[in-house]
Amino acid sequence: LGTVHSVKGAECDVCIVFPDLSLRGAQHYATRQGEQFEQILRQFYVAVTRTRDVLVLCQGITSGMYFNDYT
């Protein structure tokens, strides 16, 4: 059990990702451009790629944080 940063470089059989961000993070994500947006995507990439067998993507409650609009 750990955060994205604490397991960076390791793998887990099951990863559960909660996509919620702070208000400021959600504002950066909503722009869909810029360095802050890229950092958010990289963090989720790290979280997702730690999965060995099962990935659970939970629906966030932060406005605009939905996986179905990733490109």
Give the pLDDT confidence score for residue 71 in this predicted structure. 44
- pLDDT at 68 exceeding the cut of 80: no
Give the pLDDT confidence score for residue 64 in this predicted structure. 55
pTM of structure: 0.68
Mean pLDDT of 5-22: 80
The DSSP annotation for 32-58 comes to T-HHHHHHHHHHHHHHHTTEEEEEEEP
- pLDDT at 39 exceeding the cut of 60: yes
